[in-house]
């Protein structure tokens, strides 16, 4: 396996491949790689067929169980427990201001600091700490983004001191189109750009992204943040999935997805974004496999570089998302027909059930980036204590060595692979339960709701197999 170390996804590759993990800086930036023979070869020795079959069976048995378990019992699984009353109003603005200052420092050090993406805090923070770690914690725990997004504090400060009200009103007819385009462009940069982990290049892209959305929020008001800033929209979707949330100004906790079940159906644009999050994450995995490279007519052992496949990557990203949305809509349409559901159109069903795929997306996000994160987080720690790569030790950590020893034995690799596979399987099980609970709540209990879920359940079982296959597939470049 070839692992390019820097999480713009392809800047540091990971996991299961025929060769061993190779941890390197971005090909176009540093050019040298250090190989660690082990993980990929060990994965080929694991009984992955047995593990995949077991994972698919676990999801299938969950579907079968729903035939016999009372519908009320499934709904009770997603009943939240009320905690304490929430009073935090100003504090999130203060932490957002601190987050903005930290982002500005990252941009500065990205432009002026070390050129090595494994030593510069900019790419390590954006791709490893934020995109891998924080996004996962957002869905695993709760709305952390509310506290650290780098816009709301400064926008609040501008309005507080200048008494500034939005100059324009956000056009309602735009819906969530700008936000969807914003997210798609972000993913396109992540997957198709020739050097997304180059510190200076990334710093410029982040500056432009931040500046555009800051102006939008100041000039067009809070609706810009809700409908045009794609990253924040994805974070809010994952916050709705998380177990910790708020009900009537009180904090509450429940099973992942309880906020989706007890909330209103999301607008169509946000529903579409749920599918794009899943589809983009899935293509992120497909894009690395030997199978995909074979479709492009490329030898994975002689990969010509990212610049040679920019348009193929963009085309694959678009095609995979179109395919996923079409198949998902088709399963919903067939379910409505089988259940003879009246009064609920396909568009309404799409808005109701699209958020139920978020547990799948989060589970695969964890599985896809897990092994890379284990290594990249060590580089991030070194960069935190020595941000200018001058030998300083501001955190007093002493000499820190990056280790990949957990890839060097079959037993440890088996544990890693089972952790990844468990993330995929658990995500699908939660999605199956959540989709059934949504069907019962909106279609009523009984045969109609059960039949309406058959096509969607089959879709989720097949997607379980697909996700586990991706984990075990040989990977290149």
CB of 252 closer than 8 Å to CB of 81: yes
**How confident is residue 288, by pLDDT bands cut at 50, 70 and 90?**
confident
- Count of all residues that appear for the chain in the document: 477
Lowest mean pLDDT among 144-148, 232-236, 270-274, 471-475: 471-475
CB of 190 closer than 8 Å to CB of 369: no
Question: For residues 292 and 289, what is the distance between their CA atoms, to the nearest angstrom?
Answer: 5
Minimal CA–CA distance to 143: which of 17, 229, 243, 285?
243
244: pLDDT strictly greater than 50: yes
Q: Three-class SS of residue 473?
A: coil
- 309 vs 343, higher pLDDT: 309
89: pLDDT strictly greater than 90: no
The confidence score (pLDDT) of residue 6 equals: 39
345: pLDDT strictly greater than 60: yes
Question: For residues 94 and 153, what is the distance between their CA atoms, to the nearest angstrom?
Answer: 6
CB of 431 closer than 8 Å to CB of 359: yes
- Over residues 376-405, the mean pLDDT reads 93
> What is the DSSP code string of 400-417?
-----GGGSSHHHHHHHH
**How confident is residue 162, by pLDDT bands cut at 50, 70 and 90?**
confident
CB of 190 closer than 8 Å to CB of 7: no
**How confident is residue 24, by pLDDT bands cut at 50, 70 and 90?**
very low
Half-sphere exposure (Cβ direction) of 283: Cα atoms closer than 13 Å: 24
Question: For residues 356 and 55, what is the distance between their CA atoms, to the nearest angstrom?
Answer: 19
What is the helix (H) or strand (E) element at residue 455, kind and residue range?
Answer: helix 454-472
CA distances from 396 to 119, 332, 384, 386, 400 (A): 17, 56, 11, 10, 10
pLDDT digits (tens, 9 = 90+) for 425-468: 999 999 999 999 999 998 887 788 889 999 999 999 999 999 99
First to last CA, the chain: 8
CB of 454 closer than 8 Å to CB of 268: no
Among the residues of 70-193, which ranges form H helices?
Answer: 71-77, 91-112, 121-123, 135-140, 145-148, 152-162, 177-192
Minimal CA–CA distance to 43: which of 472, 421, 469?
472
- Could you tell me which residues come within 8 angstroms of residue 419 by beta carbon, excluding any fewer than 6 positions away? 370
The answer to the question of residue 477 being in a domain is no
CA distances from 43 to 19, 63, 219, 279, 464 (A): 10, 29, 53, 25, 19
3-state helix/strand/coil string of 307-341: HHHHHHHHHHHHHHHHHHHHHHHHHHHHHHHHHCC
The answer to the question of residue 163 being in a domain is yes
The answer to the question of residue 246 being in a domain is yes
The answer to the question of residue 243 being in a domain is yes
The answer to the question of residue 306 being in a domain is yes
For the chain, the domain total comes to 1
β-strand 81-85 against 250-253: which pairing, if any? antiparallel
**How confident is residue 17, by pLDDT bands cut at 50, 70 and 90?**
very low
CA distances from 85 to 250, 401, 437 (A): 4, 44, 27
Domain of residue 297 covers 3-472
The answer to the question of residue 65 being in a domain is yes
CB of 241 closer than 8 Å to CB of 254: no
The confidence score (pLDDT) of residue 38 equals: 52
Q: Three-class SS of residue 151?
A: coil
Share of the chain above pLDDT 70, in %: 90
CA distances from 269 to 165, 414, 419 (A): 27, 40, 33
Q: How many CB atoms lie within 10 A of CB 35?
A: 14
- 474 vs 420, higher pLDDT: 420
What is the helix (H) or strand (E) element at residue 244, kind and residue range?
Answer: strand 244-247
Q: Three-class SS of residue 425?
A: helix
Minimal CA–CA distance to 320: which of 290, 280, 364?
280
386: pLDDT strictly greater than 50: yes
Share of the chain above pLDDT 90, in %: 66
């Amino acid at each position: 396996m070839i692992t390019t170390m820097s999480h713009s996804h392809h800047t540091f590759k990971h996991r299961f491949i025929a060769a061993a993990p190779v941890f390197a800086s971005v090909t176009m930036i540093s050019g040298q790689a250090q190989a660690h023979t082990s993980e990929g070869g060990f994965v080929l020795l694991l009984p992955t067929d047995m593990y995949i079959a077991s994972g698919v069976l676990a999801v299938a048995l969950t579907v079968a169980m729903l035939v016999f378990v009372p519908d009320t019992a499934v709904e009770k699984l997603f009943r939240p427990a009320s905690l304490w009353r929430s009073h935090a109003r100003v504090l999130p603005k203060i932490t957002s201001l601190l987050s903005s200052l930290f982002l500005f420092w990252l941009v500065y050090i990205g432009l002026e600091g070390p050129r090595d993406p494994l030593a510069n805090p900019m790419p390590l923070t954006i791709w490893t700490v934020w995109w891998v770690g924080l996004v996962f914690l957002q869905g695993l725990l709760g709305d952390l983004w509310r506290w650290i997004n780098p816009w709301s504090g400064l926008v609040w400060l501008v309005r507080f001191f200048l008494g500034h009200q939005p100059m324009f009103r956000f056009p309602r007819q735009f819906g969530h189109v700008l936000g969807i385009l914003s997210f798609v462009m972000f993913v396109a940069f992540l997957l198709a750009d020739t050097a997304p982990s180059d510190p200076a290049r990334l710093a410029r892209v982040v500056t432009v992204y931040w500046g555009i959305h800051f102006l939008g929020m100041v000039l067009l008001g809070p609706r810009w943040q809700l409908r045009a800033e794609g990253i924040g929209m994805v974070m809010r979707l994952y916050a709705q999935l998380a177990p910790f949330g708020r009900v009537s100004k009180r904090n509450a906790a429940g099973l992942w997805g309880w906020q989706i079940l007890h909330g209103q159906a999301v607008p169509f644009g946000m529903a579409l974004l749920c599918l794009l999050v899943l589809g983009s994450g899935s293509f992120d995995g497909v894009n690395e496999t030997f199978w995909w490279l074979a479709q492009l007519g490329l030898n994975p052992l002689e990969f010509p570089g990212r610049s040679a496949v920019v348009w193929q990557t963009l085309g694959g990203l678009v095609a995979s998302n179109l395919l996923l949305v079409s198949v998902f809509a088709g399963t919903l349409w067939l379910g409505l027909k089988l259940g003879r559901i009246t009064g609920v159109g396909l568009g309404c069903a799409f808005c109701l059930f699209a958020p139920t795929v978020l547990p799948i997306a989060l589970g695969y996000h964890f599985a896809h980036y897990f092994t890379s994160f284990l290594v990249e987080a060590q580089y991030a720690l070194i960069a935190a204590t020595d941000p200018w790569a001058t030998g300083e030790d501001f955190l007093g950590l002493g000499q820190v060595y990056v280790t990949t020893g957990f890839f060097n034995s079959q037993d440890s690799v088996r544990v890693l692979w089972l952790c990844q596979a468990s993330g995929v399987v658990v995500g699908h099980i939660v999605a199956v339960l959540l989709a059934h609970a949504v069907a019962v709540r909106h279609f009523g209990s009984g045969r109609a709701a059960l039949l309406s879920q058959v096509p969607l359940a089959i879709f989720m079982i097949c997607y379980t197999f697909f996700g586990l296959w991706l984990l075990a597939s040989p990977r290149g470049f």
